[in-house]
Structure 1
Amino acid sequence: MAEEVDYTNLPLEERLDHKVWKARLSAYEELSKQFELSRNDHDPVFTSQPPDVFKKILTDSNVVAQEAGYRAFINYLRFGGNASVASRLVKTIGIVQPICEKGLSSSRKGTKESAIESILIMVEYIDTPESLVEEITSHLGNRLPKLVAGCVTALDAIYENFGCKIVPPKAVIPSLGKLFAHADKNVRSETTKLTVELYKWMGESLTSILFPDLKPVQQKDLISAFEAVKNEKPQQKRLTKTQKDELAREEGASAASKSSGQEKEDVEMNDATVPETNYDPLEFVDPVEVLSRLPGDFETRISSAKWKDRVEVLEEVQAVLEKSPKLVKNEDYAPLVRIFAKNMDDANIQVVQLAATCANHVAKGLGKDWTKYQPIILKQVIERTKEKKPSVASALDTFLDTMFSISGLGGSILEEAVAGTTLKVPQNKIACANFLQRCLAHVSTPPKSTEVEMIMPAGLRLLSDSQQSIRDAATELIGTLMKITGERELNKYLDKTDDNRRAKIFKVYESATVKCSSPQAGSAPSSNTVPIKKSLSSRTSQPGRISSSGSSTIPSKREASSPAKRGDDGKASNLGKGLTSRSLSKPTSTSLRPSKAINSNSLSSNHVNLSHPQAVQRASTPPPAAPPQIEYVVDPKMEQELEKLRQEVKRFQEQQQQDRSLIHQLNQENVSLKEEVSSLNSRLENEMRSSSIAISHKDTQVNNLKIELDKVNHRVKDLETEREINKLQQSNQTYLAREVVHPDHDNSSNREPDIRKGVHRLSLTESDQQIKHPSAAEKGGIGYNRPSFHSISSNREKLDVDAGDDWKRAAEVTQQLKKRIERMKARARTPLNVE
């Protein structure tokens, strides 16, 4: 057995081009070790070999040597790479092509991972990673599925590590539609991963570009995949060389400025890889010019009297706009927006829905530049919110939310929404109140006092409406506003509101979720009950007597007037009546908070002898203009009874609230069921209409078949008649032939009378009838009864002479019969032709 050759003694250059793969393997390993042991990126080892040699190393025919060659290339980039080296490798040498063709498509896991790692390192160093991505995307149309799947995996790794801010996805997005239509399932699977990674950075702007090119099944799968990562915030996992240098400079500056006692904090700061920065998903998309792509006859067709023409042209416009998430901003979109505003008044709701959707695409595409076009269409959209159909209402609400997200409460949104609450249609009031509630829930800065002064009168007006749905919408609006401004800010507006409605407002106030809050909104009410109940409970809990000032809700006329009754019992009973009948039902504004006069009197009563009732009365005496005080004695049993009544009232209010919510839910279900019933009725009507049309069509077919059957029957009768005539003619011709052939036959004398009888039978004239039926005189003639030889001979001669005439007459009769048959046919055809 031959000994193994030691190739390490050969020069490195010779081993790099050696035919034996083991020699090349030793050369690649030695080269990798030299790169790893280099002193810096300017070491001579990096210039000892030209960069072109790596193009040959990465395409080595032996898979083991190829994997070692990738390790050497990675060390070359890691220890000696910089921006100029990476740019030269990508743009001049074209190193990406061999990596894609031989590395990313390799069946060895180590080689494939090394190929992806080498690409990521080059992205770290190169100044323009778009050129590297373009080199990879050029191989996505290759016929080898393994190569295409490897390139997609590399792109996914690039965007997963660096994100769309470092590597713009403009070159990748146009290829996604073709990749999803690829025949290989591995390619489609890797494309899904890449698309999900792009969605983390681009959001809904990616779906608007990509979904029009996909099938509904593919869209459904992607939507479910997007939902799983919808709440994930994308973050760059790998730093570029520039970012590393900048971060090192910042850490060096911070370390120099801080004391040594803060070294631990500095070390902890080093753990952060990339600072979180806000980004706009539309910055990864190029603006599109759409006005020139609209149909040339757009204005003519949108003004057509036929609603189908208007719907068709709006669908074409929507197809153009939904593929353009970012629009060119230096164009004039005012004429287009005016057309959409005019469509808001269209009688066909499908036209309204399409116009709102198209305008929404324009608003999203323009962003902040939409504010100058907003006044053109905002009022019309607010007025059209009267539609109850869910699809139309959803399109209008989405458009309104988009306009709010762009301009906030400014841009006349607040004024138009408040004005919409005064419209006559109840649906307008509900939609505008809900829109204002959504705006307040998502507003980033608290509304100003002037804005609160605009919202609250509209909310209170809706709160007193006769319809429950409108009152509920107003409750949500006021409760959300109170969550931002606080209870104190809105107390002056809610003075005259009854307890039940205030309780609902406070319940919304506690459960509402907003993005901002003012300093006054820090303290929430302690319970869902109305503040009047709190004041009553606090007053009744004090021992001794309860004094009522001019602000008390208990009238003085409830004082005991009969001298026969005990004073304490009368006062206690009147107290119970007053608390249960008056103060718990309709509180006044003065009872919401304790008056300042009472607080000041309580503070100044420290020097008064509380044991003397007169002193207490002087200390708590109101000004002369106020009515006199009335004192009541509180019985502990009555106080317990009052507490029970309060709890019962509270339980009753909670039960009432639950019942109302259940009624509201049942009403919504009833509305949905009514809509379903109406849709089923419309379907039933359509099916009945189609069934009646089918039945009438079948009846028409049956009538036509009957007519055809009658025609066939008439034809059969005509053919039978014609056949009989032909038979008669054939029998006559046969008879004549026999007479011609045998003129002196003995039976001729016997056949002549038969012929004559046949002729007489076919005759239609009166003379024929006379011949057929001879007179009685002729029958009784002597010559007839007693023929002589002479007469017999004369008759024979006569028969011989008339034989030719009889055949002529038979022919005439035949012609007459034919004419008669033709007339009968004509009469039979006349009614058939009319139908």
Structure 2
Amino acid sequence: MAEQEEDFSALPLADRFGHKVWKVRKAAYEDAAKQFSASGSEDDQCFRPFLNDVGLWKSAVTDSNVAAQQEAIIALGAFLKFGGREHCLRTRNQTITPMVEKCLSSTRAATKQGAVEALLLYVELDVAGPVIEDILPGLGNKVPKNVAATLHALNMIFHNYGCKIVDPKPVLKALPKAFGAADKNVRAEATSLAVELYRWLREAMKPMFWGDLKPSQQADLEAQFEKVKAEAAPKQERLLRSQQEAKANAPEGEEDVMDDDDEPDAAEEIDAFDLAEPQDVSKKIPPNFTDMLASSKWKDRKEAVDGLHQALSVPRIKDSDFNEVNRGLAKCMKDANVAVVTQAALCIQALALGLRKGYAKHRTVVMQPIMDRLKEKKVTVAEALGGALDAVFLSTDLTECLEDITTYLVNKNPQVKEGTMRFLIRCLRTTRDVPTKPEIITLCESGKKLLSESSPALRDGGAEILGTIMKIIGERAMTPQLEGLDDIRKTKIKEFFETAEVKAKEKPKPKPPPPKAAPPPKKMGGKKVVRKAAPAAAPPPEPLSPPLSSRPGPAKMGMPKPGLSGLKGPQKRTLGGPGGAASPRRAPAAPVMPSDDEPAPPQPRLGLSRGLAGRSLAKPAAAQAQLPPASPPPSSGLTAVERAELEELRAANDRLTRQVDEMRQERSKFMSEIQELKNQNAGLIEDHTRDVLSIKAKETQLVRARSDGEATEQVNDRLRRELERLKKALSRAEGLGTSPSGMASPGLASPTHDDVYRDQSSSSAHRHRMSITSTMSEEKENGEMMNPRSKLSPELRYAGSNPSSGRGSPARGFRREISHRDEDHSSGMSQRPMSSLPQPSGNGVESWRRAAEVTSQLKARIEQMKAKQAYARP
């Protein structure tokens, strides 16, 4: 046994970490922990072997012997506790995963506790992100005991450091899987972790995982959340190493203040927007959204905004091109249907809350239309509009919204004025930036004007505005703004001041530390001695400072010069005689009392604009009495020149401050003008787009009208040609009827075959005309608007297509009759004598008369058709 102890004790500590005998390894772990605890600093030599070979810790925490493993975890904790950030970074990747798999679920309580402490130390020495990233794979372990132990370790990390130090998003995403586990211990640890996260995040954590839970699980969690709702906001129980160093280096007396400022309410600091991942909702917006908003039916418009609101109902929205959407929503503010207005306001609120600062560029498009609609008296609509305004304000600041607010505070509509007043009060309560002095003056003037309104609600609103501003900037700064108000109004403002809750408060400037008089004079005096010692020791004076004897006045009369030493105390060290610079104690006595018999030694000018040469020669004694005797330097350690320079610097600083304020005001004015120009540009673009569309519509109508006109002209040409043919046929028929051959004498013979044929032709033409008239009258009664070509009968529609004559022309029968008569006449003349030919009877004259009537009726009908076509043209 003794030989074994001598063998392993002689080995280096790093070699014993990998020894085959578990007792040797256990003893090595214990010795390492003792050495780390006794080390003088994190740079001690005992840490060096384990930093050079970080694989030693991986084999140590996964030791097969549970007793040795326990000591290895303790040694790792000592290594991290007494080491530094480098020790954490070098070993973190080698130890966290093995500890999660082997140590957190160990059967020994000391091993589990030591593993959790090691994980907390890893977070303390650096950051929590890499540690959580290596722990989360343990939630997918097949052994339920390991999963429960991993959840417990995460619970301890959040309990000690909170959600400001540890990012809860990865853990919240993995929680639903833990709630669906079959093991009850896993579900219990998951519930405990969810409750711990709820203590820090409150309702902001629900959008991350709530939808993935079953209704029964949600009910169980709600019951657990109710138990901790009444508890106070948790605070960070364990500080990071960087926080510890900052607290140690803080000046005395400021540690308590630092602790109070560094521990804000986590429920107010973290919300669903910070936890959620941005989602691209542009693809979810209905593609026909713009067309549906332009519909004349309110149901279509309501359906469009409903679909948009459903797409925008996410905690965080990825920034994209929402210009068209916002312009459409701004137009919805003028909609006559209040349901559309309300839903559009909810869409604006959801989009602004989802984009936050990214929505600031759309403020100018939607804010004024919303404020114009504040005249609505329905409570539901007013609340929706107010929520939209609040969401838009969160994406901007008070400076950008102030101009619109002050404009609508003097609106003629009392409903708009009251809604704007309430919006301003909410802005003052929620803003985190203290308004500038010009903004405070503008707001106070607006509040004073409301105090003189006839409506009690507006008067109370004005007092509340002034009281909220007083809460932000303080009573002392608000006092000049309340001058001229009576006591009743001041009392009312004071009441609102006491009850107002704001997030932005004017912090008092810290008192400057008491001046230390001793060190500055030494420092400044030393600089002057170093700078002026060489010129004072030289025999000739400075070129820019002639000797006093060369000046006119009392210097030529041999009068004493006692005032110089009194005015320039620190510079008297350079005014010695030929022996060099005088000491500070002996310097005042040398130039103060010179002898009358001896001439004054040459002395350089001290930079004063008024000295002995500037004194009046009439009263030298009075001037001498005014100058004090040699006096010590002023207590501040500054000479007159330096004081003058300091005053000049202060004046320049004040001047620059005023210039900066003026430039800020000009910048805000220019920004407002830019926004107005942008609005005007957007309006001009919309007007231009509408004009272009109307022009295109008119051009389309013109093209159609031209095509219809051309078709009508073609029909007219065809009818005109047909009319000419009819006239020619009529003239030819009349010429044949009045022939001098004696064939046209009436009543001499019975009707021939030609006469019967002519009667049939005239009757068919009459029937054709009647069919056209009846058809046109039926179409007119039915209200059918047809092409003029389609209104013609098939016979007239194709009239003029044949070079000789139309197939349906009324003149076709006449031409056929004439041709037959010509043929019969020629054949008869060749076969029999003239006296044997049949003579025309009276029926032939009547047939020609009917043909003339038909022709005249056709002419009248054609004129009527022309008139109708001209009336039907656009």
TM-score by length of 1: 0.48
TM-score by length of 2: 0.46
